[in-house]
Structure 1
Amino acid sequence: MKILFLHGWNSVPGGVKPSWLIKHGHEVLNPSLDDNDFAAAVATAQAEYDAHQPDVIVGSSRGGAVAMNIHVDGKPLVLLCPAWKKWGAATAISANSTLIHSRADDVVPFAHSEELIRNSGLPATSLLEVGTDHRLADPEPLAAMLAACEKHAPPKESLLDHPAISGRYLFPQPRRVRQPFLVPVDGAELACYRHDFDADALTLVHFHGNGEAVADYLPDMAEALAAIGLNSLFVEYRQYGGSTGKAQLTTMLGDGEVVLQEAGLEPGEVIALGRSIGSLYAIELAHRLPSLGGLILESGIADPGQRFLLHGDLAAAGLAPQQVLAEVERHFNHQRKMAGYQGPLLVLHTENDGLVDIDHAERNYAWAGSTKKQLVRFPRGNHNSILAVNRREYLAAVKQFAGEIRG
Structure 2
Amino acid sequence: MALGTLLAGLLFGGLLLTGWLYLIQDRLLYFPISDLAGDPGQLGLEFEDVWLTTADGERLHAWYLPHPQARGALLFLHGNAGNISHRLDSLAIFHRLGLATLIIDYRGYGKSSGTPSEHGTYLDADAGWQHLVTARGFSPRQIVLFGRSLGGAIAAHAAVEHRPAALIIESTMSSVADFAAELYPWLPARQLTRHVYPAVDTVAAYPGPLLVAHSPDDEIVPYHHAARLLAAAGDRGQQLNLRGGHNDGFLVTGEAYVAGLDTFLTDVLPQ
| Equivalent residues in 2 for 1:193-272, closer than 5 Å | 193-198=63-68, 200-218=70-88, 220-263=89-132, 264=134, 265-272=138-145
| Equivalent residues in 2 for 1:53-68, closer than 5 Å | none
- Which residue of 264, 275, 278 maps to 2:148? 275
Cα drift, residue 197 of structure 1: 1.2
Contact 1:165 1:308 in 2 (8 A): no
Contact 2:167 2:208 in 1 (8 A): yes
For the structure 1 residues 163 and 246, does the alpha-carbon distance in structure 2 shift closer, same or farther, using more than 3 Å as the test? farther
For 1:343, the aligned partner's letter is: G
For 2:151, the aligned partner's letter is: G
For the structure 1 residues 232 and 258, does the alpha-carbon distance in structure 2 shift closer, same or farther, using more than 3 Å as the test? same
Contact 1:175 1:241 in 2 (8 A): yes
Contact 2:63 2:102 in 1 (8 A): yes
Contact 1:210 1:278 in 2 (8 A): yes
Q: Structure 1 residue 404 and structure 2 residue 264: aligned?
A: no
Deviations 1:362-392 (A, max 9, x none): 11011015x34211222x3111110221121
Cα drift, residue 165 of structure 1: 1.9
| Equivalent residues in 2 for 1:283-302, closer than 5 Å | 283-289=156-162, 291-302=163-174
For 2:258, the aligned partner's letter is: L
Cα drift, residue 259 of structure 1: 1.5
For 2:33, the aligned partner's letter is: Q
Q: Structure 1 residue 324 and structure 2 residue 192: aligned?
A: yes
Structure 2 residue aligned with 1:373 = 237
- Look up the SS of the partner of 2:62 in the other structure: strand
Contact 2:219 2:246 in 1 (8 A): yes
| Equivalent residues in 2 for 1:3-18, closer than 5 Å | none
- Look up the SS of the partner of 1:164 in the other structure: helix
- CA RMSD of superposed structures (Å): 2.4
Deviations 1:236-264 (A, max 9, x none): 11111111111222322222122111232
Q: Structure 1 residue 391 and structure 2 residue 258: aligned?
A: no
Contact 1:187 1:245 in 2 (8 A): no
Cα drift, residue 288 of structure 1: 1.0
Cα drift, residue 308 of structure 1: 4.2
Partner Cα distance (2:35, 2:26) in 1: 20
Contact 2:78 2:150 in 1 (8 A): yes
Structure 1 residue aligned with 2:33 = 173
Unaligned runs of 5+ in 2: 1-21, 40-47
Partner Cα distance (1:164, 1:399) in 2: 41
Structure 2 residue aligned with 1:82 = none
Partner Cα distance (2:126, 2:248) in 1: 29
- Look up the SS of the partner of 1:225 in the other structure: helix
Contact 1:238 1:247 in 2 (8 A): yes
- Which residue of 179, 199, 222 maps to 1:307? 179
- Look up the SS of the partner of 2:174 in the other structure: coil
Count of residue pairs brought into register by the alignment: 233
Deviations 1:182-219 (A, max 9, x none): 1011231111111111465211111111123111123x
Deviations 1:140-172 (A, max 9, x none): xxxxxxxxxxxxxxxxxxxxxx85222221011
Deviations 1:25-71 (A, max 9, x none): xxxxxxxxxxxxxxxxxxxxxxxxxxxxxxxxxxxxxxxxxxxxxxx
Partner Cα distance (1:396, 1:372) in 2: 20
Contact 1:174 1:241 in 2 (8 A): yes
Question: Looking at CA atoms only, which structure, 1 or 2, has the larger radius of gyration?
Answer: 1
Cα drift, residue 223 of structure 1: 2.8
Structure in which a larger fraction of residues adopt helix: 2
Q: Structure 1 residue 334 and structure 2 residue 203: aligned?
A: no
Percent sequence identity is: 25
Partner Cα distance (1:198, 1:335) in 2: 36
Partner Cα distance (1:322, 1:399) in 2: 37
- Look up the SS of the partner of 1:194 in the other structure: strand
Partner Cα distance (2:144, 2:236) in 1: 14
Cα drift, residue 221 of structure 1: 2.8
Cα drift, residue 322 of structure 1: 5.6
Partner Cα distance (1:297, 1:394) in 2: 13
For the structure 1 residues 163 and 182, does the alpha-carbon distance in structure 2 shift closer, same or farther, using more than 3 Å as the test? farther
Q: Which has the higher contact order (CA 8 A, sep 6+)?
A: 2
Structure 2 residue aligned with 1:353 = 218
For the structure 1 residues 388 and 339, does the alpha-carbon distance in structure 2 shift closer, same or farther, using more than 3 Å as the test? same
Partner Cα distance (2:182, 2:28) in 1: 10
